[in-house]
Each structure stands twice: as C-alpha cells, then as structure tokens.
C-alpha cells in the first residue's frame, strides 16, 4: 500500500487496470440484469416487485461500503500521512452519495406497493437518510473551504465521526422494531433467500462494486490533476 | 418478467432511475476527468515553454 501512495505510480497502475475494470463491470452488469429481469422468478408474496430488490439492495450495500472506504482512507490520512489517502476519500464521496440516493429512492418505490407508503420514519430508513446527509456534508466541506489542507483536516474528522452511523444502519433492523425486513444475505447462519433470487442479487452486487472501482479510479485521477493544476497556477503566480 | 403484472410501473421506474443516476454519474466523472487532465497538460506545456 505504501508503494501505491506515490501519485505517479498510482496513475500508471490505474491507467493499466481501468480498461479491464470497465470491461468486467459491463459484463457483470449485463449478466446481473439478465438474472434480475429474465432468469429470476417472481416472488410468491411480492410478485414482480421483487425485481426492484436487485437494484435497491446492491445500492444500499455500496452506500455503506463506500462510506467505509471513505472513513478508512481518512483514518489512513491521519495515521500514515499517505499522499493519496485524502484524494481517495474525497473522490469516493459523490459516488457513495449517488448509491445512497439510489438506495433511498428505489426503496421508496418498492415500499409503496409493498407497505402502502412511499416513506416511513423507520430506524433503517432514517439512518440511511442520515448517511446521505453525512455524504452531502462531507462534500460541502471540500466545496466550502478553499485551502485544501484545512478542508482535508475537517473532512477527515467528519468522515470518521460519521462512520458511527454505518453499524447503526446495518443493525438498525435488529436493535429496533422496524418495518424494514431483517438481514437476509449477510447474516449468521447464511442467506435465507432462495438461490434463484440470490445469484442475480450477488452478481448485481459485484457489478456495482466493479462500477464503483472504475469510477473511483477515474475520480482519483481527476483529483490528482486538479491538485496539479492548483500547484501549477500557484507556481505561475510565484514566477511573475 | 410478466409485463402485465400490476406493479410493472414501479419496477420500470426503479430501473430507469437507477440507469439515469448511474449513467449521469459516470458521464459527469469521465467528462470532469477529461477536462482536468487536458487543463493540467496545457499548464504543464506552458510552464515548460516559459522555462525555456
């Protein structure tokens, strides 16, 4: 990891792996969509509405995973002073926010026919909404503070403090009485979902993960370019 | 998938919104990357030119 912290080396590796990651993401997305829309049967209780789960659940997984990446990178920035750690955290935030937004919207679309309501202030839904606010707050800090070093210091703290919400989202269905169903894939004792529904769900999860990886690498590359532009402009002013 | 199901509209809406958000995010990130890398390269060339 230390060797990857060099931006030049990171760019070289990222440029080499990106075409393969894009290709893997496209293939797994195609396989996942086939499984979700064609191969998976309708649920005996939910009917065709179960197909919303194939875009809702992976988006929710990614919202939690990306925040964990952001918090880990922020911790690495504080402890190890990796030059790329803040870049990684900052680049991950908009992608995580998009997945979190999708989880909330697709969950709401599923909720209307199944629960009879677009939204309820349930523990899972509320904690997920708090997660979206944390993403937006983290992004607002980078936008509001011009000096990158100072913005990074505050953003790292927000990312780490906000990480408390990640286990709250995950275990909210166990800790409180919730309308939302309990964990049915990542749980002690194994998944409770039938294999015909489980495999498209896992393939869609893989596709979203690969899409995140590709977008994150590109966004990190952009952030490195943005920092270089800032340095070159400052150097140009200094030369005058 | 049974298109005559009473909830097909909800399923379609979830997939269309997911596609729009993910496609929009991908396009935004790729276009920003292209713009910033071109700008950094141009400034780099300018700096090298000024140094000569």
Query: What's the 3-state SS for A7-70?
Result: HHHHHHHHHHHHHHHHHHHHHHHHHHHHHHHHHCCCECCCEHHHHHHHHHHHHHHHHHHHHHHH
Distance of alpha carbon A200 from alpha carbon A31, whole angstroms: 8
Among the partner-chain residues A56, A101, A236, the one whose CB lies closest to the CB of B21 is A101
pLDDT of residue A60: 96
- Each residue's pLDDT, cut to its tens digit, for chain A (240 residues) gives 565 568 888 899 999 999 999 999 999 999 999 999 998 888 888 888 999 999 999 999 999 999 999 999 999 999 988 879 999 999 999 999 999 999 999 999 999 999 899 998 989 999 999 999 999 999 999 999 988 889 999 999 999 999 999 999 998 888 888 777 777 777 777 777 888 889 999 999 999 999 999 999 999 999 999 999 988 888 877 776
Chain B residues whose CB is inside 8 A of the A235 CB are: 47
Distance from CA of B5 to the nearest CA of A (A): 7
Verify whether the Cβ–Cβ distance A55 to B15 is below 8 Å. Answer: yes
Tell which of A32, A90, A104, A109 to mutate to test the B interface (max B CBs under 10 Å).
A109
Higher-pLDDT residue of B50, A54: A54
Distance from CA of A189 to the nearest CA of B (A): 30
Among the partner-chain residues A42, A52, A102, the one whose CB lies closest to the CB of B21 is A102
Can you read off the two tokens belonging to residue A183?
A: 């964990």
Confidence of residue B49 (pLDDT cuts 50, 70, 90): confident
Distance of alpha carbon A147 from alpha carbon A143, whole angstroms: 10
Report yes or no: A225 at the B interface, CB cutoff 8 Å.
yes
Residues 65-84 of A with CB under 8 A from B: none
Chain A residues whose CB is inside 8 A of the B47 CB are: 232, 235-236
Residue A6: count of CB within 10 angstroms of its CB: 14
**pTM strictly above 0.90:** yes
pLDDT of residue A211: 98
Verify whether the Cβ–Cβ distance A232 to B7 is below 8 Å. Answer: no
* Pairs across A and B, CB distance < 8 A: 99
Report yes or no: A41 at the B interface, CB cutoff 8 Å.
no
Distance of alpha carbon A40 from alpha carbon A23, whole angstroms: 24
Report yes or no: B13 at the A interface, CB cutoff 8 Å.
yes
Q: ipTM for the complex?
A: 0.91
Verify whether the Cβ–Cβ distance A218 to B33 is below 8 Å. Answer: yes
């Amino acid at each position: 990891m230390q060797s990857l912290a060099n931006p030049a080396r990171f760019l070289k590796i990222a440029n080499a792996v990106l075409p393969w990651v894009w290709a893997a993401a496209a293939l797994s997305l195609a396989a996942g969509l086939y499984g979700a829309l064609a191969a998976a049967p309708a649920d005996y209780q939910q009917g065709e509405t179960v197909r919303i789960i194939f875009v809702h659940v992976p988006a929710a997984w990614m919202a939690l995973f990306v925040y964990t990446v952001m918090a880990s990178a922020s911790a690495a920035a504080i402890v190890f002073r990796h030059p790329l750690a803040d870049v990684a955290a900052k680049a991950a935030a908009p992608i995580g926010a998009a997945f979190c937004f999708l989880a909330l919207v697709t969950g709401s679309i599923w909720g209307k026919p199944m629960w009879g309501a677009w939204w309820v202030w349930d523990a899972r839904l509320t904690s997920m909404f708090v997660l979206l606010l944390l993403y937006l707050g983290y992004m607002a800090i980078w936008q509001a503070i011009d000096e990158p070093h100072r913005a990074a210091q505050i953003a790292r703290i927000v990312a780490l403090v906000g990480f408390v919400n990640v286990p709250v989202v995950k275990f909210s269905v166990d800790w409180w009485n919730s309308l939302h169903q309990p964990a049915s894939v990542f749980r002690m004792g194994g998944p409770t979902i039938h294999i015909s529904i489980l495999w498209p769900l896992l393939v869609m999860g893989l596709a979203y993960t690969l899409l995140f990886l590709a977008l994150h690498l590109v966004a990190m590359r952009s952030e490195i370019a943005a920092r270089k532009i800032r340095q070159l402009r400052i150097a140009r002013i200094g030369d005058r | 998938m049974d298109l005559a199901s009473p909830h097909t509209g909800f399923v379609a809406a979830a997939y269309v919104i997911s596609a729009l958000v993910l496609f929009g995010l991908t396009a935004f990130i790729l276009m920003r990357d292209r713009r910033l890398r071109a700008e950094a390269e141009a400034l780099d060339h300018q700096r090298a030119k000024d140094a000569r």
